[in-house]
Chains A and B, each alone.
Chain A
Amino acid sequence: MTSAQKTSARVNAAPAETPTFPLNAWYAAAWSHEIEHALAPRTICGKEIVLYRRTDGAVAALENACWHRLLPLSLGWLQGDEVVCGYHGLVFDAGGRCTHMPAQETINPSACVRTYPVIERHRLVWIWPGDPALADPAEMPDFHWNDGTEWIGEGGTYYGLRCDYRLIVDNLMDLTHETYVHAGSIGHDAITAASFDVTHTDRTATVTRWMLGIDPPPFWARNLGKPGLVDRWQIITFQAPSVVVGDVGVAPVGTGAQQGDRSQGVNGCFLAAITPATATTCHYFWNFVRTFKKDDEALTRSINLAHVNAEGKGLYDQDVTVLEAQQRAIETHPRLPFYNLNIDAGALWARRMIDRLLADEAQRSAPAAAAE
């Protein structure tokens, strides 16, 4: 093709100093039940994206900016499975192709908006914000505990939480904080007293802590329903870049839980899919699921409420208060970020894996940017 200079209304954002999140990964964007036949905007990894469910049930994810004048498409409306821009009526199909332009009988061939690969799995909608050619369903983190089948629980999301997503990874990879942030619920002095092991693979990091022969904290004592001391475990696994699954529970002391027989105990998992929105904000998809009292809907509701409630007094609300205050402190105290302690080993392994993904991506020279 030959032509004189063409300017198009695509502005490449000024490059961030150092990226803090990899783009070539699956990130939770919404709970499945949140995405209906309506336009739902999300900011994912610095990308403005609009999601909607097509009439055939599949979820479409488009760049949330009209090709023509960049108005967010989420301010328009759906016409069948196509999005009508609310400014001048350009229409885009679920593949991002423009199918109608006002006041002309043809369509400009370069008119399209970017689409993002989508997978709906484990009751969540996941987006691949990076190079679509690299989007491989096999790269999906294991989040099967959230299926609502074997493990039971109803979670929620903190959208637009005002902190770097890695602060949540730090938070979950070191449960020492439970003793202080969550004193009176799941906190326990034994957590800080017990030693822990940290192991890793090339894509995961695991912190394992066993507290043997301790008094069960109230939540676990109630749900175990057996008197006496317990062996308590917290086995927390990070999957790069931002999924954390914590296998937690108690069993009567000496019944072999540490050796693998948990049949006498009760077991739960806290689940976290953390999605960067910007460098300093994120979405925190959380759940707490269990294999005990699976039919007890009142328990499901109360566990959900215990994590987050309308008064902002839930367990996770306590974390949010800390995380957002920490982010503000990072911005006002620009000394290089933190001192590290022995308890941070799990978080540091997690951050090393994130850094590795970032380095790999830097080597690929930001193909996602070129695709735009």
Chain B
Amino acid sequence: MASIEWSSGRLRSVQDLTADIRLFEIERDGPFMPAAPGAHINVGVEIAGRPDTRSYSVVGADDDGLYRIAVKRVPQSRGGSAYMWSLAPGARMRVSAPRNHFPLSLGKGDYFLVAGGIGITPLYGMALALAETGARFRLAYAARTRADLAFADVLAARLGDRLSLHIAAEGERIDLAAEIDALPADAELYICGPLPMFEAARRHWQTRGRAPARFRFETFGSSGRYASEPFRVKIPRLGKDIVVPQNQSLLEALEDAGVEMISDCRRGECGLCTLPILETDGIVDHRDVFFSDRQKAAGGKICTCVSRVSGGEIVLDTPDRAG
């Protein structure tokens, strides 16, 4: 596995875009590598005194050699956003070179971009790039209230009527079914937003028999159908009884308790950290994109890096065998 190219860097400035979204301008030491639309950088953070990393989409154009990321302060987060918000301009930080797991492919005909909340961050650069190349596209951007919109002014100026804003508090939702049905057969959809929005779009995409490869998405790896709450995990095979705190993932709690795990992506995509569910009296809040809807409904396994349990406890097995 390739290592991430880390470098030192400095927080140049911060700017509050909304009450809970803050823009960070970061200067990375060493040669500047432009970030293509959809790319992210990793930054070093400290959580409960321990070093960790978080990935944030690079926002928009970066011709001036600075990386811009927008971080939403999430009270229930595992601590990454709280750490970022504690930083003042001038702070030193570790910054990775940009990488891209959500690349925009040019020359594909029609595009439909869908952003929910902070999910605007990767789509912002994509929309500007598509506008630049003269591609046919639309961006639908949903937020709770008008005050929660970030980048809306720039987007409105650059996209004109190719942008539609949808304010949930004013009863405006993106009509995903109608929007998808109106797309030409070879159109691509790029979506980043809360899991329920993503799942609704994907379900409709599948129902209509559209090519799965044209449904492009990126997840936060942290949003679910239920609020994050502490829950208890029992592992009879190991005699473990663990409480997963609200601000820690199940995977991290298992690792902290000495359960040997393998994992890779830690955002619910690769499926390496999944464990069999023996029983549960709560609701498994599947937050991964690795299992299909069918598999989630069957409830045989849980993706421990992102998924949680609501309103009860869970009994899991592990691959450990005597020997």
Please report A residues at the B interface, Cβ cutoff 8 Å.
1-12, 93, 95-99, 104-110, 112, 115, 117, 132-133, 364-367, 369-372
Contacts and interface: CB of A to CB of B under 8 A. Distances in A.
Contacts of A4: 52-54, 266
19 contacts: A1-B40, A1-B55, A1-B121, A1-B218, A1-B221, A2-B77, A2-B81, A2-B221, A3-B266, A4-B54, A6-B55, A7-B4, A93-B213, A99-B213, A108-B265, A108-B290, A109-B101, A365-B32, A370-B97
A5 B53 contact: yes
B289 A109 contact: yes
Contacts of B39: 370
Nearest to A109: B217
Contacts of B106: 132-133
B55 A105 contact: no
Interface in B1-21: 1-5
A108 B269 contact: yes
Looking at chain B's contact residues, the main secondary structure is loop
Contacts, number: 130
A8 B99 contact: yes
B219 interface: yes
Contacts of A96: 105
A370 B77 CA distance: 30
Given A2-B221, A132-B106, A106 B2 contact: no
A272 B107 CA distance: 30
B63 to A, nearest CB: 10
Which of the listed residues A2, A6, A97, A105 has the most CB atoms from chain B within 10 Å of its own CB?
A: A2
Given A109-B217, A367-B34, A7 B291 contact: no
Interface centre among A3, A8, A112, by most B CB within 10 Å?
A: A3
Nearest to B218: A1
A104 B217 CA distance: 18
A365 B31 contact: yes
Contacts of B122: 1
A32 B121 CA distance: 42
Contact of A109 (B42, B55, B108, B216): B216
B32 A106 contact: no
A350 B35 CA distance: 32
B230 interface: no
Contacts of B294: 105
A12 B53 contact: no
Interface string B36-65: 100110100000000011111100000000
A2 B222 contact: yes
A5 B192 CA distance: 19
Interface string B58-78: 000000000000000000011
A115 B101 CA distance: 15
Contact of B2 (A2, A9, A107): A9
Contact of B33 (A95, A104, A105, A370): A370
A5 B289 contact: no
Contacts of B34: 364-365, 367, 370
Given A3-B267, A93-B211, A115-B105, 15 more contacts: A1-B40, A1-B56, A2-B222, A2-B267, A3-B221, A4-B54, A4-B266, A5-B4, A6-B266, A7-B2, A95-B108, A109-B216, A109-B217, A110-B101, A366-B33
A2 B1 CA distance: 20
Contacts of B32: 365
Nearest to A367: B34
B19 to A, nearest CB: 19
Interface string B116-132: 00000110000001000
A132 B106 CA distance: 8
Contact of A7 (B3, B97, B289): B3
> Which of B102, B265, B295 has the largest count of A CB atoms less than 10 A from its CB?
B265
A120 to B, nearest CB: 15
B277 interface: no
Contacts of A366: 33
A369 B31 CA distance: 12
Contacts of A10: 2, 99
Most central of A99, A133, A366, A367 by chain B CB within 10 Å? A133
A133 B4 contact: no
Contact of B54 (A3, A107, A365): A3
Contacts of B107: 117, 132
A371 B219 CA distance: 20
A233 B34 CA distance: 48
B207 interface: no
A98 B31 CA distance: 32
Nearest to B292: A105
A25 B169 CA distance: 50
A371 B36 contact: yes
A120 B266 CA distance: 42
B100 interface: yes
B244 to A, nearest CB: 16
